[in-house]
Structure formats: C-alpha cells, structure tokens
Amino acid sequence: MNSTIRQAGTLIAAALIISIITQIFYMVTLGGPQPSDPAVGITNADVVAYFTDRWSEVATVWTIELAAFAVIAVAALTALTRGAAAPVAWAALFLAATFNILQVGIGLSMFRPAALAGEALAPVFLTVVAGAFLFYFFAKALIALAGIGLGIVLLSSASTAAKVAGILSIAVGLIAAALNIYAIPQGMGFVFPAGAAGTAAALTTGIAAWMATRRTE
C-alpha cells in the first residue's frame, strides 16, 4: 500500500478524532440555548441570548470542525482515486465530510442571523436548524456505513487486533447507521441518541481507516 494512501488514512483518523473532541467540548461547555425559566422552557429570548453571548466560542468550535471535515473530504477522495481497498467506504467518507461541511456552514452562516431576526421569525430559525440537522444525521449515517466497509476490510487481515477493530467498527457502524437513518424524519427529538451513536462510529471508523491503510505493513 503506497504512502499516499497511508497518509490519507492518518489524516482521516486525526480529523475524525478532532471532530469528536470538538463535539464533546461543545456539548460540555456550550450545549445550545438553555431556558432561563425551566418551567417555561426555551424561549426566543434564550435563543437570542445564547447566540449573542456565546457566539464567538460557538463559531470557533464550528470553524475547527469545518476545517476537520474539509481534511476528511480531501483525504477520502485521495484514497478513493489512488485505489485504496473498499472504495465504497472512502466514497461514503467523502460524502459524509461534504454533508458535514454543508451542515456546519449552515450553522456558521445562518443560525445567528436567523436567531436574531426576532420572535416573529422564530419558525424560520427552527426550520434552518432542522435543515442543518438533516445533513448532520445523514453525514453520521454515512460515516457509520464507511466504518462497516472498512471493518469488513479489516476482517481479512492477519492481525488479531485488526480483526477485533473490524468487528467493533462493523457493530458500532450498524447501530449508528440505523439510529441516524431513523432520526432523519424524527428531527431534533432524536438528536442525542443518534448523535452519541454517530460520535462512537466516528471513533471506530477513524481507527478502522488508520488500520485499513496499514494492513499490509
């Protein structure tokens, strides 16, 4: 296996791990708008306050994610065109990164203006968010499918560690793909289980990508 494919595997693994770290950081430290009065729930004022007070932090995290997904897109396309094993998996990773770029791009360019447009346009903001999360679920499902494909490649490896990684990637990928495909018509109500499964799949897929591009070493 040539060095270009190995480098592509390394870049994809590193970028997926970066995306996992940023998502965990976002959920722990930022987490989206919170209700000022839990009895009332999240109001338009809470949304406005969040995108006013925390926007610089949110934009920084999302910009890092945007860069990571761009790296994945380029690296996956490189592996695909260089004839790496499991071309469907690399194609799925390329598409996943592309849809993630669209999703993050919508967040960076549209969320804040829509949130600050006023309470009368709150339904527009919710529609924009729903559109972004459609790409979010679809991208995670594609990452999971890529993990299944790369896991199958690892099953043919002579290494026991690679076989175990392959089985794990397939198992997690199947769960994450099913949950995220199910989440597409469900919308925001299913974001946490689908997102958590997708994040786990990103980790196992990253490991599988790194090992699959080194299985002849």
Mean local confidence (pLDDT), 142-167: 95
Exposure string for 11-42, b = 16+ CB within 10 A, e = fewer: bbbbbbbbbbebbeebeeeeeebeeeeeeeee
Q: Are 205 and 147 in contact, with CB atoms under 8 Å apart?
A: yes
At 188 the pLDDT is 86
Q: Is the dihedral of CA 138, 139, 140, 142 positive or negative?
A: positive
Exposure string for 58-96, b = 16+ CB within 10 A, e = fewer: bbebbebbbebbbbbbbbbbbbbeeebbbeebbbbbbbb
The domain segmentation of the chain, as residue ranges, is 3-212
At 217 the pLDDT is 46
Alpha carbons 26 and 184: distance in angstroms, whole number: 22
Q: Are 66 and 106 in contact, with CB atoms under 8 Å apart?
A: no
Q: Are 185 and 9 in contact, with CB atoms under 8 Å apart?
A: no
Exposure of 172 in the CB half-sphere (CA atoms within 13 A): 27
Note the pLDDT tens digit of each residue in 51-71. Answer: 999 999 999 999 999 999 999
Q: Are 131 and 154 in contact, with CB atoms under 8 Å apart?
A: no
Q: What percent of the chain has pLDDT over 90?
A: 85
Mean local confidence (pLDDT), 162-167: 96
Alpha carbons 5 and 66: distance in angstroms, whole number: 22
Is residue 1 pLDDT above 60, yes or no? no
C-beta atoms surrounding 185 within 10 Å: 9
* Averaged pLDDT score across all residues of the chain: 94
